[in-house]
Structure 1
Amino acid sequence: MAPRDSYSTDQVTAWLRHIRLPTSYKEYIEDPISFPKTFESLGTLMRCQISKFPYENLSVHYSPTHTVNIHPEVLYEKLMGLERDRGGGGGGRGGYCMELSIFFHHMLRGLGFCVYMTAVRNRSRENGVPGGEYLGFTHINNIVYLSSDRQFSIDVGFGGDGPTSPLALNELGQAVQNLGSQEVRLIHDNIPKQRFKDPKLWIYQYRNAPKHDWNSFYSFAELEFFQHDFEVMNWWTSAKTLHRWTVLVVRFLREGESVRLLGGKTNVIHSVDSEEGRLQALRDYFGIFLTEKEAQSIEGWDMALG
């Protein structure tokens, strides 16, 4: 039986099927609570999650309210495609960080993992590169306990800049291979704006090659946040930030995946100048089929194409 406040066993089983697990994990699909609680299995779940569900902000553009609902049951219907199936859209969706991480949190709980959510301070960026001050809480992360002395950060909602493996919360700060030549790590340190040096924070860093210096994306503390906390944060982020100035969809690719795009480098492979063209691109490149109601809701919105 799934733990209280998690998704039901049937919902977890449907998700395990949906994310296309390696065949070695198929025996656990019908009995999800028996899923192994190991670093390897956790990494597999993370990579299956981020390669199945895109990071996207379509709800702020293609919805009647132009806001985001992060209630767990709403997220389940959205990401798993149940609402779209009924509305004629077909297929599932992705979401932004709070949607993806809250959804993943409840799935981990349904599998029996010991996990809690925490809030994250992102750094401001210039031309996409973090270099400014740590801002307010606008991001979310999961912390998983595999044992009393083995905790891991699991961030499935940071888009293309996010880690692709669990990162250990320890004092070693080991470099972990990410995509291509990029390495990422967590260090335990202070951020410049802290007036008091206790407690230290966990800081997510990256470098795009071993010869480069480390740079910091965000920081977080080992402090549990709850659904009500993220409801407050979501009100601000979905109404005031969340890339409202652009329509954004990002997804990690799996090796050997048959898709109409190339991974690994930034290239312009297709330009659109109409809503019809953009909706077709969402279908072709991301498998996202918006309902007629969703597609029409962008009319009169500042991000609508001609």
Structure 2
Amino acid sequence: MVSKPTYTDQQLELYLERIGYSNSGDRLQILRQSIQNDALGTLAELQRRHLAAIPWGNSGMHYSQHHTIALNPHWLFEKMVNRRLDGYCMENTGIFFIVLRSLGYHVYATGGRVSHAAAKGVNNGLYLAIGHMILIVMIQGEKYMVDVGFGNNCATAPLPLRENATATYIAPSEMRLVKENLVEFTDPSQKVWVFQTRYNPESDWVPQISFSDVEFLPQDFEVMNFSVSQSRTSWFTKTFICTRMLLNLDGTEVKGQCVMTGHEVKRRVRGQTEILETLQSEGDRVRALAKYFDMHLREDEIQGIKGMASELI
């Protein structure tokens, strides 16, 4: 039987501290008891806290000397827990995958396609190539979509694989899953799950990601990761972005987002957007990463962006 990577109890303790789960010294014991009592509710809390604590971003492609992304479980932990840096889709969801497995959840990963509506702002029914990681978690015979790696459009709670099961995204926005045939499919009988969001209950639904519930293997994600992080046509290699979710005071609800893109840092809370800071230089951006995202870059990482298209000059 193939051995699947897990984290040790010591690593899990550090991860829980990183996401702010419980102030108690025996937080891992508390968590395991919570999973026994309410596996779905505990999963939802872990997802919320992960989204608010570990930024979604692509600093490894811009603020580094190597400009590469590694999916090795040890490196994921070193980068996002020990160094307290960000991670993009397959990094953030990759570490969450291993954490959930280590806690005893029945979980596997699958691949998804990002819609043109999400990637290009054009809702034409088309999708990019498979390049996104989604988790399927099984609890009491039901499957749930779980994602912590889709930036400001990321699902904020586990969604059951049931059609039209609408849930609050970030109020007043909503999210749901539907099953559809993609316009480029040859066989009209083939359908996949589509994760959709809408701005409010009166707005149109917008497709974000399509995916099946077929399990993908680590070698599949290695190929996907290489393409997304290294292709000269990949948006990720040209633009730096960093986002994280914002929780209400008691941590029970995602109330908004903090987003750094281009020359601005913005905060969006319940549909209202506020510009927190305008960035004039690389020094401004490095300081803003520390201030708003608790990301503290080393000097060699800061120098890594020199000469790149994403450098602020």
Q: TM > 0.5 between the two?
A: yes
Alignment counterpart, residue 287 of structure 2, candidates 280, 283, 290: 280
In the alignment, does 2:167 pair up with 1:167?
no
In the alignment, does 2:59 pair up with 1:67?
no
Alpha carbons of structure 1 residues 30 and 174: separation in structure 2 relative to 1, 3 Å: closer
Separation in 2 of the partners of 1:288 and 1:228? 30
Matches within 5 A, 1:163-202: 163-171=155-163, 173-202=164-193
Identical amino acids, percent of aligned pairs: 30
Contact 1:261 1:285 in 2 (8 A): no
In the alignment, does 2:298 pair up with 1:298?
no
Provide the residue aligned with 1:256 in structure 2.
249
Per-residue CA distance 1:239-297 (angstroms, 9 max, x = gap): 1224333220100011139x997432333321122211111111111111001110111
Alignment counterpart, residue 92 of structure 2, candidates 76, 100, 106: 100
Contact 2:116 2:128 in 1 (8 A): yes
Separation in 2 of the partners of 1:21 and 1:176? 24
Separation in 2 of the partners of 1:109 and 1:40? 16
Provide the residue aligned with 2:253 in structure 1.
none
Alignment counterpart, residue 136 of structure 1, candidates 129, 137, 142: 129
Per-residue CA distance 1:134-166 (angstroms, 9 max, x = gap): 121111100000022x11000111111111110
In the alignment, does 2:18 pair up with 1:18?
yes
Contact 2:267 2:275 in 1 (8 A): no
Report the Cα offset of residue 127 of structure 1. Answer: 8.3
Please tell me the residue identity of whatever aligns with 1:134: Y
Separation in 2 of the partners of 1:134 and 1:211? 25
Secondary structure in structure 2 of the residue aligned to 1:36: helix
Please tell me the residue identity of whatever aligns with 2:135: N
Provide the residue aligned with 1:227 in structure 2.
218
Please tell me the residue identity of whatever aligns with 1:52: A
Separation in 2 of the partners of 1:234 and 1:126? 19
TM-score, normalised via structure 2 length: 0.86
Separation in 1 of the partners of 2:94 and 2:122? 25
Bigger RCO of structures 1 and 2 (CA < 8 A, at least 6 apart): 1
Secondary structure in structure 1 of the residue aligned to 2:86: coil
Secondary structure in structure 1 of the residue aligned to 2:247: coil
In the alignment, does 2:112 pair up with 1:120?
yes
TM-score, normalised via structure 1 length: 0.88
Separation in 1 of the partners of 2:29 and 2:282? 41
Secondary structure in structure 1 of the residue aligned to 2:193: strand
Structure having the higher strand fraction is 2
Please tell me the residue identity of whatever aligns with 2:129: G
Provide the residue aligned with 1:48 in structure 2.
49
Contact 1:122 1:217 in 2 (8 A): yes
Contact 1:120 1:137 in 2 (8 A): yes
Q: Name the Cα RMSD after superposition.
A: 2.3
Any unmatched runs of 5+ in structure 2? 251-257, 259-264
Any unmatched runs of 5+ in structure 1? 85-91
Contact 2:117 2:208 in 1 (8 A): no
Contact 2:194 2:208 in 1 (8 A): yes
Alignment counterpart, residue 211 of structure 1, candidates 202, 213, 218: 202
Secondary structure in structure 2 of the residue aligned to 1:268: strand
Please tell me the residue identity of whatever aligns with 1:135: L
Please tell me the residue identity of whatever aligns with 1:48: R
Aligned residues: 291
Report the Cα offset of residue 32 of structure 1. Answer: 5.9
Per-residue CA distance 1:107-142 (angstroms, 9 max, x = gap): 000000000000001111488535131121111100
